[in-house]
């Protein structure tokens, strides 16, 4: 995983996402998912560009099905934007960097 992209798990999700006061982007993914691999470079670029302003991390749905089930993740990649424990936006599928930047810039 890239330096600025955190690894979220069932065990650390509340601490690193729900209890974070910062806008947090969670990428729900799996290793076998081709679209997940397609969006990964975009996620890494955003993590580098918004370092210190936005928390970005990935949650492997195969290894952390409790959290994936809790948020009703049925398709991957699914990106959830959280702030103060609330979901602000859900994006399903591969999206452009500019589309994701628009959501980030509106909510930082």
Q: pLDDT for 9-29, tens place per residue?
A: 999 999 999 999 899 999 999
pLDDT at 3: 81
Q: Is the pLDDT of residue 1 over 70?
A: no
In this structure, is residue 1 part of a structural domain?
Answer: no
Q: Is residue 77 part of a domain?
A: yes
Q: How many domains does the chain have?
A: 1
Whether 37 is a known active-site residue: answer no
* Domain CATH number, residue 54: 3.40.30.10
Q: Is 89 helix (H, G, I), strand (E, B) or coil?
A: strand
- Is 76 tagged catalytic? no
Q: Is residue 97 part of a domain?
A: yes
pLDDT at residue 106 is higher than 90: yes
Instruction: Please pick, among 6, 23, 33, 59, the residue that the annotation labels catalytic.
Output: 33
Residue 2 predicted with pLDDT over 70: no
Domain range spanning residue 23? 6-107
Burial letters 67-97, b for 16+ CB under 10 A, else e: bbeebebeebbbbbbbbeeeeeeebeeeeee
Mean pLDDT in residue range 75-98: 96
- Answer whether 103's CB lies under 8 Å from 81's CB: yes
Decide if 84 is inside a domain: yes
Selected catalytic residue, list 23, 36, 39, 43:
36
| Residue 33, domain member (yes or no) | yes
């Amino acid at each position: 995983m890239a330096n600025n992209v955190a690894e979220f798990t069932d065990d650390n999700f509340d601490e690193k996402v729900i209890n974070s006061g910062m806008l947090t982007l969670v990428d729900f993914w799996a290793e076998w998912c081709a679209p997940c691999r397609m969006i990964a470079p975009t996620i890494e670029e955003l993590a580098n560009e918004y370092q210190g302003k936005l928390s970005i991390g990935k949650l492997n749905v195969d290894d952390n099905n409790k959290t994936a089930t809790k948020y009703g993740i049925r398709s991957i990649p699914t990106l959830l934007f959280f702030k103060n424990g609330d979901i602000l936006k859900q994006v399903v599928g591969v999206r452009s960097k500019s589309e994701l930047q628009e959501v980030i810039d509106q909510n930082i």
